[in-house]
Every structure is written in C-alpha cells, then in structure tokens.
Amino acid sequence: MAKNRARYEKALEKGRAYNAARQWDRALGAFRIAIDEFPKAATPYAGIAEACLGLKHLDRALECYKIASRYSGGEMAYLQKVADIQERLGYLTEAGRTYTAIGEISLRRRQLDEALDYWQRATRLEPGLLGAHRRLAMVFQRQGKAREAVREYLAIARILQMQGEKRKALQMCQAALRLDPDNQDVLKAVELIRLGEEAFAEEPEEEEEPAVVEEPAESDDMTATVRQMAAIFEADRQNRRPAPESLSVGPVESARRLAQDQLAEEIFREEDEDDEETGLSKLERDALIGQGMDFESRGQVGEAIQCYRQAISGGLNLSSAYFVLGLLYLEQGQVGEAQTALRIAARDPLFAEAGRAALTQTK
C-alpha cells in the first residue's frame, strides 16, 4: 500500500506540473497512472478534467468533474465546475438542476446567502425549476422579504397551473395573498386559475413549450448524487460533535439538540400529499421554522415563540416543535403555556424523559 501511495503521489505531482505547463497530453498520462493506483480517488479525475478543458474537450471534462465530485463527497469546487461546463455547453436545464442541488448543500451548511445565489442562478437558466423557486420562496419569506416571496409563489403557481395542478397552484396563490392581500397580480392569477384558463397568459412563449416546466430532477443522476452528498455532510457534522461534551449534557439539553435537528430536517423533507390538507403550505411552515430557529439562535425568544406558534397553528405537528416551544416558554416564565407544550411533546418516547424533566422545573 505504501508503494501504491508513493506512485500515486508522484503521478499526481507530475500531472499537476504538466497541467501548469499546459502539456495536456502528458498530464492525461500521468493522471491515468494515479487512477490505476487509486481508482476511486477524486483528485486525478479533476486533473484529467482540467487537461480536457485545456484540449477543449468539454464533454469529457464534464464527465470527469462529475466523477470527481462523487468520489470527493461533494467538493464544491468540482460541483461548480460541473455546473459551469453544463452552462457553457448549453445544457441549461442540467446546469440549473446542478446549481439547485449545490444550493441545498449550502443551505445545510447554513450558508444562506450562497444558497440564494445558486437558486437564483438556477431559475435564470431554467425558469421552470420548481425546486429552486420553492427554496427561494421559503428563504425570502423567512427573511421577511414579502415582495420577493410573492414573486416566487406566483412563479410556482404558474408552473403548477401549467402542469394541471390547479389545487396546488391556488394554494401557492393563497400563500402569496397572506403576505400581500391586495396584490393585483396574485388576485388575477387566482381568478384565471379558478376559471380554468392558463395563468400568466401574457407569457405565451413559455406556454408553447410545456416540457420546460417539468422538473425531473429526482431522476437526474447528478442531482440525486449531490442531494445525497448534502445528507452525508449533515451526518458528518453531527458525528463530529465532541463526545465528552455530549456525554456531559443532561436529558433536557440533549433533547433540545435532537428537536432542533429534527426541525432542520423537516425543512429538507420532500413535500407530500398530506402537506396539502393543512392551513399553511409546507413552504410557509418551513419558512417559519427557519425564522424561529434564527431568532432562537440570536436569543430573541419572544419572536421565536411567535414563529413556532404560527407554524404549529398552520399544521406543523411535530413533537420536536412542541418541545422547543415549551422550553422557550420556560425561558419567558410562561409556565402554563410551557406545561401544555411539554406535555404534548412528552407523548413522543424520544422526548418523554426530557419532557418530564423540564416539567419538574415548572413546579
């Protein structure tokens, strides 16, 4: 193994030097030697991709950067190269999906501004990417940017209307009206949808190509891979927590962390049919969860309570939400409300012990 490693490192060194000297063919040969030694190492594939770019072989470079991104566990530099080359080749839908998936990773890393940039770029390349518009709507609402959120809700409604999802389209319009009740664009969209006409008829160029609004991202290998990477990153982050600290944490604080992790995961959960039966859309609830977590992290307890209460009133039915809400009520000295929320949370075995422990603090 040591000899393999030495040959691998030597081949990488040569390959990098050849790339730096723009000796692309020699670089290809050196990196192939490295791959022979370690077939699942990401770096040599990235080196080959760089040489292919030098040779103007964009399709080969794209494939190599895809492999490098998989084997690296989602190195952002490689993923950005993938999206960039897809864009240069004119694969705009594919590039949009890749940027959407990179945005998911950025969101999991709590890099909200970066995530927004990726999703906005995705929708500029492919206006029919439903997932990117949904994320933008959620984050804009979470940030209190009503005008931007309404714009995204309208985009989502248009896409859903064109896909024949009238009920879901109306739900998105209702979400927009909750932010801006007198918005004439939203009121017009509601009227058109209810009349069964094509919403946003002033954009016939988009109606002529309904395939554009389809979002088969779930079946796209690259997008699926990147989303898996996002989950892996989150798991790695959890595993990197210092063991001694976690051992010293009591049941209440340990359960609080679990509850916060579950709430974060709720934001990433895919929407299902059950989500459509409640007062608020899942997007609105996700925005409130994120906003509540932001307020909580900044010590703005009253504002966090308000967000979690609104999410629960709008259909969020998670024990974790009740547990966090109960603890926040305790911090505010609202004992009666804390007891009610913690008793509901304690029905869940995951929060039973911690719920009882927290309730003892109210007596």
Task: Write the pLDDT tens digit of every residue in 306-329.
Answer: 999 999 999 999 999 999 999 999
* E strand segments, the chain: none
Asked if 312 contacts 292 with a C-beta cutoff of 8 angstroms, the reply is: no
Asked if 179 contacts 145 with a C-beta cutoff of 8 angstroms, the reply is: no
Residue 244's pLDDT band (cuts 50, 70, 90): very low
pLDDT at 55: 95
Does the pLDDT value for residue 275 go beyond 60?
A: no
Residue 356's pLDDT band (cuts 50, 70, 90): confident
Question: How far, in Å, CA of 24 to CA of 85, rounded?
Answer: 18
pLDDT at 279: 80
What average pLDDT does this structure show over 136-165? 93
Question: How far, in Å, CA of 322 to CA of 335, rounded?
Answer: 14
Calculate what percentage of the chain has a pLDDT beyond 70.
82
pLDDT at 110: 83
Does the pLDDT value for residue 216 go beyond 50?
A: no
pLDDT at 272: 65
pLDDT at 224: 53
pLDDT at 217: 40
Calculate what percentage of the chain has a pLDDT beyond 90.
66
Does the pLDDT value for residue 295 go beyond 80?
A: yes
Q: Global pTM?
A: 0.77
Ramachandran region, residue 145 (left: φ > 0; alpha: ψ -120 to 50; beta: rest): beta
pLDDT at 128: 93
pLDDT at 205: 44
Question: How far, in Å, CA of 70 to CA of 223, rounded?
Answer: 11
Task: Write the pLDDT tens digit of every residue in 53-99.
Answer: 999 999 999 999 999 999 988 788 999 999 999 999 999 999 999 99
**In 291-318, which positions are buried (b, 16+ CB within 10 angstroms) versus exposed (e)?**
bbbbbbeeeebeebbbbbbbbbebbbeb
Domains annotated on the chain, with CATH: 1-72 (1.25.40.10), 241-360 (1.25.40.10)
Closest CA to 225 of 73, 121, 356, 363: 73
Burial class (CB in 10 A: 0-12, 13-18, 19+), 23: middle
pLDDT at 2: 72
Burial class (CB in 10 A: 0-12, 13-18, 19+), 102: buried
pLDDT at 249: 54
Does the pLDDT value for residue 247 go beyond 90?
A: no
pLDDT at 359: 82
Does the pLDDT value for residue 197 go beyond 70?
A: no
